[in-house]
């Protein structure tokens, strides 16, 4: 179906941070399947582990105990603030699970009261009807109304707007069952969360007995230089969602929760494919390799290198680049739309053998594989410089 405006390009193979199209042209990939291919393309260890898993069992259903799923659950809970995990297949499904969880929590905790979920303007939480309703960007909702009711929106990083919504709810004898928010907005324009804002948000949720659930679909699994995005904010959420980089290019999503939010009972929620042995083996391999190869250290170093390069390019082209945003290996260049736009830069990058992806607010987003090297960052910056020279 006509759901994508596709670029006229097709890839036949990949290796590490590089892709080759059907004509043999080589591209440096700063998209990574949109922050998904954590270990790059055709990783040797991932191939080996998944081939071995296919020789054992790939899917059996959640009607039975799944060894790989339990191993992955133990790994995730040991390395995070969470105590329990629900597995699904995508970021939208993970956030859908979070919305259902917050709804159940609110209906149980505030029985008889009308409840709301708070979300941020410029957010993006998915394409299902409920996650679309939680997305604070009307352009994605156009044509799909009526939206699912029960959401109110505040300004990202603006605690006064959160307090205003909560006060309005209480005056109307309503309650806030929870907050769903990204620690760094991706589709909204690569906007990092403010530490003070999130600390106050955590306190407000505690005071109002509301859940705080973070959408880490794009920021989780090392993307920011920390394993989890919330670690940059010095708080612990009641739960958080994962997908994208967790499977290294294979379909898996997850909702992780602390004990307070562990309220699903058998029959409340489910997923046929969620947490199957193959997907869990992919995720386990990604997590193990991040530790074994010290990839978080690489993300921090390459992120700093990228930021330094962007600063130099920004100084060279001040009329084109308005600002630089991001953390680790999720960074963005804010483009002055009086000169050009992010899509035009993305198209020009094809000619230079560089893959980029736009984000909201006229931003060029950079989310390369977490394994990208110093030399590859230098190549990326040189290609980018050439692109701006031609604008």
Q: What is the mean pLDDT of residues 290-295?
A: 98
Looking from the CA of 154 toward its CB, the CA atoms found within 13 Å total: 25
Sign of CA dihedral 135, 187, 307, 289: positive
pLDDT (tens digit, 9 = 90+) per residue, 87-112?
999 999 999 999 999 999 999 999 98
Phi first, then psi, for residue 331 (nearest 5°) are: -130, 160
pLDDT (tens digit, 9 = 90+) per residue, 163-175?
999 999 999 999 9
Residue 268 pLDDT more than 90?
yes
CB 278 within 8 A of CB 61: no
pLDDT value, residue 191: 97
The share of the chain scoring above pLDDT 70, in percent, equals 100
Residue 391 pLDDT more than 90?
no
pLDDT value, residue 82: 98
* Domain ranges for the chain: 11-30+295-389, 47-292
For residue 42, give every residue at least 6 positions away whose Cβ sits within 8 Å of its Cβ, in sequence order, or none. 13, 14, 15, 16
Q: What is the mean pLDDT of residues 20-48?
A: 98
Average pLDDT, the chain: 97
* Model pTM score: 0.96
Q: What is the mean pLDDT of residues 185-212?
A: 97
Residue 238 pLDDT more than 90?
yes
Confidence category of residue 5, pLDDT binned at 50, 70, 90: confident
- Beta strand 211-215 pairing with 174-181: parallel
pLDDT value, residue 318: 96
47-292 maps to which CATH number? 3.40.640.10
pLDDT value, residue 361: 86
The share of the chain scoring above pLDDT 90, in percent, equals 98
pLDDT (tens digit, 9 = 90+) per residue, 120-173?
999 999 999 999 999 999 999 999 999 999 999 999 999 999 999 999 999 999
Selected from 3.40.228.10, 2.30.30.90, 3.90.1150.10, 2.60.40.10, the CATH number assigned to the domain covering 11-30+295-389 reads 3.90.1150.10
pLDDT value, residue 36: 98
Residue 373 burial (CB < 10 Å; 0-12/13-18/19+)?
middle
Domains 11-30+295-389 and 47-292 share a fold: no
Confidence category of residue 293, pLDDT binned at 50, 70, 90: very high
């Amino acid at each position: 179906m006509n759901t994508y405006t596709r670029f006229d390009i097709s890839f036949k193979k990949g290796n590490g941070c590089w892709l080759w199209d059907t004509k043999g042209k080589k591209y440096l990939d700063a998209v990574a399947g949109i922050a998904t291919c954590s270990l790059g393309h055709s990783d040797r260890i991932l191939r080996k582990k998944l081939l071995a898993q296919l020789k054992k069992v790939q899917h059996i259903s959640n009607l039975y105990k799944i060894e790989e799923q339990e191993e992955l659950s133990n790994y995730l809970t040991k390395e995070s603030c969470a105590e329990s995990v629900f597995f699904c297949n995508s970021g939208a499904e993970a956030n859908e699970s979070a919305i259902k969880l917050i709804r159940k929590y609110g209906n149980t905790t505030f029985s008889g009261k009308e409840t709301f979920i708070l979300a941020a303007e410029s957010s993006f939480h998915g394409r299902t009807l409920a996650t679309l309703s939680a997305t604070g960007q009307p352009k994605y909702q156009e044509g799909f109304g009526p939206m699912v009711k029960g959401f109110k929106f505040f300004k990202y990083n603006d605690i006064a707007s959160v307090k205003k919504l909560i006060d309005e709810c209480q005056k109307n004898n309503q309650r806030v069952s929870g907050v769903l928010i990204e620690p760094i907005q991706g589709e909204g324009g690569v906007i990092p969360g403010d530490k003070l804002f999130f600390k106050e948000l955590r306190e407000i949720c505690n005071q109002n007995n509301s859940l705080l659930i973070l959408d880490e679909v794009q920021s989780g699994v090392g993307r920011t230089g920390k394993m989890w995005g919330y670690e940059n904010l010095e708080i612990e959420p009641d739960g958080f969602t994962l997908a994208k980089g967790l499977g290294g290019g294979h379909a898996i999503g997850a909702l992780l929760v602390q004990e307070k939010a562990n309220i699903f009972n058998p029959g409340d929620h489910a997923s046929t494919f969620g947490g199957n042995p193959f997907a869990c083996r992919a995720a386990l391999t990604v997590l193990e390799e991040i530790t074994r190869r010290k990839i978080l250290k690489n993300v921090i170093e390459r992120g700093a290198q990228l930021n330094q390069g962007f600063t130099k390019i920004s100084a060279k082209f001040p009329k084109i680049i308005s600002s630089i945003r991001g953390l680790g290996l999720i960074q963005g260049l804010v483009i002055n739309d009086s000169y050009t736009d992010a899509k035009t830069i993305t198209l020009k990058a094809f000619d230079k053998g560089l893959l980029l992806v736009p984000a909201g607010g006229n931003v060029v987003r950079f989310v390369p594989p977490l394994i990208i090297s110093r030399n590859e960052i230098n190549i990326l910056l040189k290609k980018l410089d050439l692109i701006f020279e031609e604008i």
